[in-house]
Chain A
Amino acid sequence: MPGITREEVAHLARLSRLELGAEELDHLAAQLDDIIGAVARVAEVAADDIPPTSHPLPLTNVMRPDVIRPGLSPEEALSGAPAAEEQRFRVPRILGEE
């Protein structure tokens, strides 16, 4: 498995929504390369015919009756909001300026 390049790390940072500084990017690129080299050892295991395990328990959908029950009040739900307005979360602009 080839090592990870600085460009790939910059791309991963964008995908991860992390505004990394240049120095941080260099540092992380070297560390991620080490870590990926180590975890790539999983490829040594012959497991072609082995089913994957995503979870320790056999999961099935858990259903409950659709009964109305108390939830958070608007004040409680907004209590941790960085910004709120008219009982809503206020967020920065989402659309670009055209």
Chain B
Amino acid sequence: MTETIRWTAAETASAIADGKVTAVEVAQAHLDRIEAVDAKVHAFLHVDADGALAAAKAVDDARARGDRLGPLAGVPLALKDVFTTKGVPTTCGSKMLDGWKPPYDATLTRRLKDAGVVILGKTNMDEFAMGSSTENSAYGPTGNPWDPSRVPGGSGGGSAAAIASFQAPLAIGTDTGGSIRQPAALTGTVGVKPTYGGVSRYGLVAFSSSLDQGGPCARTVLDAALLHEAIAGHDPLDSTSIDAPVPNVVEAARSGSVKGLRIGVVKEFAGEGYQAGVLARFAEAVELLRELGAEIVEISCPNFTYAMPAYYLIAPSEASSNLARFDAMRYGLRVGDDGEHSAEEVMSLTREAGFGAEVKRRIMLGTYALSSGYYDAYYGQAQKVRTLITRDFEAAFGQVDVLVSPTTPTTAFPIGERADDPMAMYLADLCTIPSNLAGNAAMSLPCGLADEDGLPVGLQIIAPAMADDRLYRVGAAVEAAYLSRWGAPLLDRAPAL
């Protein structure tokens, strides 16, 4: 038998339900793992050992009483520090919220607790989810478990690194421009951005409200589906939550197949800026899909080349408005309150001290794009481009069932390489941004290692809105084919920490 920490979430839940192990033993094994390796990885900002052990004991007690356990009862999880957790610190990777303990749980947090999921702690992230490397965290960067001198992606680098280093079998991320999928690609794990509105945003600290979407991070497609099912569904507390049945993602993950599916390859996701090893693994993945019985169709989405500029107008515009709430009055940091400074001065001093460079850049960019005289040329025009990108997707999904692309143009880059070069950093999200603008569903899963650096490459699958099940059907088929080809999961090839 392999050690507990290497089990999948599905295996862990069965072992607990069958009485082969207790939830407390599983939680303790993961807390021990965190203790042993997280000094090297820095995936966690806060470990809630007492809370985790109490939640695990509650699952063991429920089992002892003869209660029916849910499909993830007792499974440990690492929660991105952007979801509120009652009484447990929630910082969003920012000094602005250092030490803040929210007085309420996010709906997602509540659902995890109700499902008996054991929350181990809160994971590191780029400040307020703005970034692609987790270097923008005010608490220091996270290392990629494949090579701790490299970034794990971002903004959800802590969540992806936690599962890739076996500190938790499951994690939660949020994806505004790729913050679940890009870290999944860079760490050799699975990450899903559900359809916008599929998972409640109540208690998710807002960055860009029309783009933000919480979703699952896992080591297998089935585990991601089990977590997706646990967190998805209508929430009356989020007025943008979709009031419709959740697509049957677990059933899809259990019946993976691409036979007879039409799969589109997006022509625009290639060329300059794409690493050779990424393109080679992607070409193999397309060949694999063909061998598995899919019909491959080349698709052109001409407006996708404008997705990045449109995103970097829309997201900062919304951020500049959303982050106005950090005004030093009701919660969070306050600087300069010495009886001399006015409220407005305290506000400016606090925001100067509390926000990091990237957050300031985006607030100012958004303020610029929304200011009179520039509004039509920037924000207004970006919204029109958003319409055209959505139309490109509609036309594509008129011809094919899903689209595929590399998740990211490159593998994990060294910490520091792009830290003060925002434009270079923004390129990391080239392939993931269009789905946020259109609001559809997308997944990243590992498709091998790049020849030149031996680092993981992600395959992105994109499905129409509310067809999230297609991601899992295709993803499970691809995963099974790779598993038989490789003989073991990709993460088994990661060097020991």
Contacts and interface: CB of A to CB of B under 8 A. Distances in A.
Interface of A: 1, 4, 8-9, 12-21, 28, 31-32, 34-36, 38-45, 47, 50-57, 59, 61-62, 64, 72, 76-77, 79-83, 89, 91-94, 96
Contact of B312 (A35, A76, A96): A35
Contact of A82 (B196, B310, B332, B380): B332
Given A18-B351, A41-B306, A56-B438, A50 B197 contact: no
A53 B330 contact: no
A16 B439 CA distance: 29
B103 A72 contact: yes
B361 A79 contact: no
B328 interface: yes
Given A36-B365, A40-B309, A92-B346, A31 B385 contact: no
Given A17-B344, A34-B423, A57 B303 contact: no
A76 B384 contact: no
Q: How large, as a class, is the contact surface on chain B?
A: 35 or more
Given A52-B387, A57-B196, A79-B101, A9 B306 contact: no
B274 interface: no
Contact of B306 (A17, A42, A64): A42
Residue in A36, A42, A76, A89 with the greatest tally of chain B CB atoms within 10 Å = A42
The 6 closest A-B pairs by CB, nearest first: A56-B439, A80-B331, A52-B383, A82-B334, A47-B384, A19-B352
Contact of A79 (B103, B327, B347, B363): B103
Nearest to A44: B306
Given A20-B352, A45-B303, A45-B384, A36 B368 contact: yes
SS of A interface (majority): loop
18 contacts: A17-B344, A28-B357, A28-B360, A31-B361, A32-B361, A34-B422, A38-B423, A50-B387, A51-B384, A52-B383, A53-B387, A56-B210, A56-B439, A56-B465, A79-B103, A80-B332, A82-B328, A82-B332
Contacts of B124: none
A92 B343 contact: yes
A59 B341 CA distance: 42
Contacts of B390: 53, 56
